[in-house]
Each structure stands twice: as structure tokens, then as C-alpha cells.
């Protein structure tokens, strides 16, 4: 295992160029897509009256845009719909890196930062976007559910953030201790953080005997 | 299982009052502390030239403040050290909530948002703060490591965000479907997201045979 050494970023601009540890910025769009596809939640930051606010929001990549949805009554989504400058950040923690010093100790992670303004997904496309969100978060689920009602569609805001101006950072592999620390009598390595799906818990108000759906068993591990 | 129904927040102000789903805002400081204590990473948002930037940063609660550390060369940490308005958000995803409709489908999660300005931890306290960070992230590790060098201390910026103006949201339990959906022939419930520690992986440059340290085995699961 070695730390990844990619050095640029897809859609890189002066604002998104990775300033610190540029050797960790991943080059390829495939990495960008893969990180987003492992994410259930993004943290979305906007500015209101000079104060930044960062809130967790469910997300789903749809080609070269990232879909976000929330209530039409949400302040965050009102701001996003108005096209204010936004930053959408996804972070997946993969492990703790135990080096021979506190200074070199770190984490392995994958992160994406997308800058820009989101656009409202219009009514004609809203249901398809909701399907994409549901199928990203809960693959196999959409076809089991009744379609959204007109009232539900009206209460939901869906916005799309273009994957235009973004950076990707991937840190993986062993600690990078300087030579003079290598004889320290201390274990060094990585303790992985693992994400998995637990046993499905039936709702107390389930009105019939049913096994948890088979498609849940097929869900990919490692998403968070 | 039922969704939590706390309705206020510690250190709540007009800016942090939970506007959406206020029944999910947890009252007590114990919840605030518990969420932060399960977090390895926070997302820190600042504004630069009107653009919000949100970046993942390792964090550790130290009493009624949240410690963050980074490189003195980091733009984010220069801004934090200058005391600009910041927002620190922690999100722990606990499960997917499979309701009978896409509209009611959601996630169980715990999140904290802290607003304010961080203060630089001065030189006299910096090493103690680094110890707190290391011991939060890797309990048992600090005493195994050589002390930081003067050069390492000089290259590290530690800032503290007071836990003064903050909100906590906790969503847990079953889906909350309306009565008219309860007869839908679809399974409903929660699929937990579980976080655990994987088998420690020794560094390739380890110069002696050693078992992974015993303290790693005692690390609490469920942190991410």
C-alpha cells in the first residue's frame, strides 16, 4: 500500500486547486464519480448575511450533476434554488493512519468539493430526479413504491449542482514516517473504518408478515 | 422505536434554531457531546470572497470547545485563526428509513452544527490540545509516541471553536407513514448503517514483528 499520488483535479480552477498536499488530488473523473457514488450524504454550505451554514443533505450523482432534495420550506433550499454560491462537500473516512509520531498520524479518506451554483430541477424532470435520488440511496426501492402525489411533488425542491468546478482528494495507504522515526519501538499501520449494512429492522406498524426485501441484501457495502 | 421528538437545542439562537422538523432538535447538552464524541471528522465552512468553502477536518471535543488542527500553511486554518465566521458541522448517518413512499423515506442520523469564530490555541496549550486530538481519534496512542518536536509544533495550527451557538438534530426510529399508506404491500423499516473497525494493517516499513496494539481492540465501534 502506498499513498496515492495523483496531482490534479477534474474541473480544476484556481479556486479548487488543492493547495495543501497537492499530491493527494486525484486526476480522473472516474475517481470523482466513484467517491460521489459511495456517498449517501453531502454537506452543503451556503452564506447568509456573511455567516456560512453547512448542512447535511442526501445526494445522488446523475451523470455530470449532483442532485440534492429538500423541503420547499427549507431556508437552505430556498437559497440553493436562488442560485447563491454554494459548496458541496462529500467525505468518506476509510481508516486511521497510525504513524510513529502524532504529527504524521492522519486519516485515509476520499473527499470531493464542488463549487458553483445549483439550478432548480423543473417540474417536468422532478419525478425522474426523485427516482434517481431514491435509487441511489435505496437501490431497487423505487419500483416498490407508489408514485409521488402531486402534493408531495409540490412540497419537494430538487436542485442540481453541476460537477463543473470540483476537486477530489484521496488519501490511502501506509503512514509516511521520516526515516529517523522508523526505528521507534511502536506499531505503525492503518486501522480501517468499515461501513456495512446492519440487519433490516421491520417497522412496528408493518401490517403483514414480510421478510426484508431481497434487494436490500444486494446493497453494496462501504457506502456512508 | 420512535423518532425522537426533542424540540430545542443547546446554545440555541435565532441563527441555529432548527427551522425544519424542529421536533428533531435535541435538547440536552449530553446529546451534543455524544454526537461530537462519535465523530472523527467535521466539515468546516468558511467564506472567502463571497464563496463558501467546506472542508473535512479531524476534530475532537475538549469540554465545551471543539478542537481542530491543520497545517499553518493551510488557507482554511489561516482564515480560522483570523477568527472569520465559521460553521462546523458533524454528521453521523445511522440508517436508511424505508417508508411506503419515496416522500416519507429518509435517513436516521445525528448531526451538530456549531456557528461562531474559532480562537487560536496558543503555544503554551498547543501540545495538550494535540494530545487531546490524538487521544480522541486514536485512544491510547499518545503515550506510545515520541513528543512532538519544536518544528512540528510550529508547523501545526490548532484552533478551538466554542460550543456556544449550536444546534443538534437527531432522527431515529421507524418511518412515519401516513395512515392511508399503511396497507401498501411493501416492507417498511430501517436498514442500519454500521461503522466498525477493520483488522489493523501493519505498515510495510515496520522494522520488527509486532502485533497490532491492544488498545486498538478496545476502540469503540460506531464512530465515523
The ipTM (two decimal places) reads 0.91
* In the predicted structure, residue A121 carries a pLDDT above the cut 80: yes
Of A87, A138, A212, the CB nearest to B52: A87
CA-nearest residue to B89 within chain A is A54
* In the predicted structure, residue A76 carries a pLDDT above the cut 90: yes
Dihedral, CA of residue B129, residue B132, residue B138 and residue B144, to nearest 10: 80
Mean pLDDT for chain A overall: 90
Contact across the interface for A85 and B185, Cβ inside 8 Å:
no
* In the predicted structure, residue B4 carries a pLDDT above the cut 50: no
Residue-wise pLDDT for B184-198, tens only, equals 999 999 999 999 999
Chain position carrying cell 461503522: B195
Q: What is the pTM of this model?
A: 0.92
Interface of A with B in 36-75 (CB under 8 A): 40-41, 43-47, 50-56, 58, 70-71, 73-75
Q: What is the pLDDT of residue A1?
A: 36
Q: How many CA atoms lie within 13 A of A161 on its CB side?
A: 33
Q: How confident is the model at residue A222 (pLDDT cuts 50, 70, 90)?
A: confident
- Say whether residue B154 is in contact with chain A using an 8 A CB cutoff: no
Q: What is the pLDDT of residue B22?
A: 52
* In the predicted structure, residue B13 carries a pLDDT above the cut 50: yes
Chain B: give the shortest CA distance to residue A219, in Å: 10
Chain B: give the shortest CA distance to residue A145, in Å: 5
Q: What is the pLDDT of residue B2?
A: 39
* In the predicted structure, residue B47 carries a pLDDT above the cut 60: yes
Contact across the interface for A45 and B87, Cβ inside 8 Å:
yes
Question: How many whole angstroms separate alpha carbon A128 and alpha carbon A60?
Answer: 12
How much is the average pLDDT of B195-218? 92
Q: What is the pLDDT of residue B11?
A: 61
Contact across the interface for B45 and A52, Cβ inside 8 Å:
yes
Cell of A187: 506499531
* In the predicted structure, residue B20 carries a pLDDT above the cut 60: no
- Say whether residue A178 is in contact with chain B using an 8 A CB cutoff: no
Q: How confident is the model at residue B1 (pLDDT cuts 50, 70, 90)?
A: very low
Q: β-pairing, A106-116 with B41-48?
A: unpaired
Q: Give A-chain residues touching B174 at CB under 8 angstroms.
A: 203-205
Chain A: give the shortest CA distance to residue B125, in Å: 16
* In the predicted structure, residue A185 carries a pLDDT above the cut 80: yes
- Which of B22, B20, B26 has its CA nearest to residue B6? B26
- Each as own residue / partner, the long-range contacts of residues A2-5 (CB below 8 Å, 24 or more positions apart, any chain) are A2/A172, A2/A173, A2/A174, A3/A171, A3/A172, A3/A173, A3/A174, A3/A176, A4/A170, A4/A171, A4/A172, A4/A173
Q: What is the pLDDT of residue B68?
A: 98
Cell of B210: 509486532
B12-16, B95-99, B131-135, B183-187: the lowest-pLDDT one: B12-16
Q: Give the ranges where chain A is alpha helix by DSSP (H).
A: 29-37, 75-81, 123-137, 150-155, 214-217
CA-nearest residue to B73 within chain A is A20
* In the predicted structure, residue A195 carries a pLDDT above the cut 80: yes
Q: What is the pLDDT of residue B18?
A: 57
A14-28, A130-144, B122-136, B208-222: the lowest-pLDDT one: A14-28
Cell of A150: 402531486
* In the predicted structure, residue A148 carries a pLDDT above the cut 70: yes
List all residues 6 or more positions away from A23 whose beta carbon is below 8 Å from its beta carbon.
Answer: A3, A4, A5, A6, A7
Q: How many residues belong to chain A?
A: 224
Contact across the interface for A105 and B224, Cβ inside 8 Å:
no
Mutation site, B1, B14, B45, interface A, largest A CB count within 10 A: B45
A8-12, A101-105, B166-170: the lowest-pLDDT one: A8-12
* In the predicted structure, residue A136 carries a pLDDT above the cut 90: yes
- Say whether residue B189 is in contact with chain A using an 8 A CB cutoff: yes
- Say whether residue B190 is in contact with chain A using an 8 A CB cutoff: yes
Q: What is the pLDDT of residue B55?
A: 98
Q: How would DSSP label each residue in A59-121?
A: EEEETTEEEEEEETT-HHHHHHHTT--EEEEEEEEEEEEE-SBTTT-EEEEEEEEEEE--EEP
Contact across the interface for A190 and B196, Cβ inside 8 Å:
no
Cell of B97: 428509513
Residues of chain B above pLDDT 90, percent: 82
Chain position carrying cell 464519480: A33
Q: What is the pLDDT of residue B223?
A: 80
- Say whether residue B201 is in contact with chain A using an 8 A CB cutoff: yes
Amino acid at each position: 500500500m502506498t499513498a496515492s499520488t495523483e496531482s490534479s483535479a477534474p474541473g480544476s480552477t484556481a479556486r479548487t486547486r488543492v493547495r495543501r498536499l497537492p499530491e493527494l488530488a486525484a486526476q480522473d473523473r472516474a475517481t470523482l464519480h466513484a467517491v460521489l457514488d459511495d456517498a449517501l450524504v453531502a454537506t452543503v454550505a451556503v452564506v447568509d448575511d456573511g455567516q456560512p451554514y453547512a448542512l447535511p443533505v442526501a445526494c445522488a450523482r446523475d451523470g455530470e450533476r449532483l442532485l440534492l432534495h429538500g423541503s420547499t420550506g427549507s431556508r437552505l433550499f430556498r437559497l440553493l434554488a436562488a442560485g447563491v454560491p454554494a459548496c458541496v462537500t462529500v467525505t468518506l473516512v476509510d481508516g486511521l493512519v497510525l504513524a510513529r509520531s502524532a504529527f504524521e498520524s492522519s486519516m485515509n479518506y476520499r473527499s470531493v468539493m464542488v463549487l458553483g451554483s445549483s439550478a432548480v430541477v423543473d417540474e417536468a424532470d422532478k419525478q425522474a430526479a426523485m427516482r434517481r435520488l431514491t435509487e441511489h440511496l435505496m437501490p431497487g426501492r423505487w419500483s416498490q413504491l407508489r408514485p409521488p402525489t402531486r402534493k408531495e411533488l409540490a412540497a419537494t425542491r430538487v436542485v442540481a449542482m453541476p460537477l463543473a468546478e470540483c476537486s477530489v482528494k484521496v488519501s490511502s495507504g501506509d503512514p509516511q514516517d521520516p526515516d529517523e522515526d522508523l526505528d521507534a519501538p511502536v506499531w505503525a499501520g492503518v486501522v480501517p473504518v468499515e461501513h456495512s449494512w446492519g440487519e433490516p429492522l421491520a417497522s412496528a406498524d408493518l401490517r403483514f408478515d414480510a421478510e426484508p426485501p431481497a434487494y436490500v441484501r444486494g446493497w453494496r457495502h462501504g457506502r456512508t
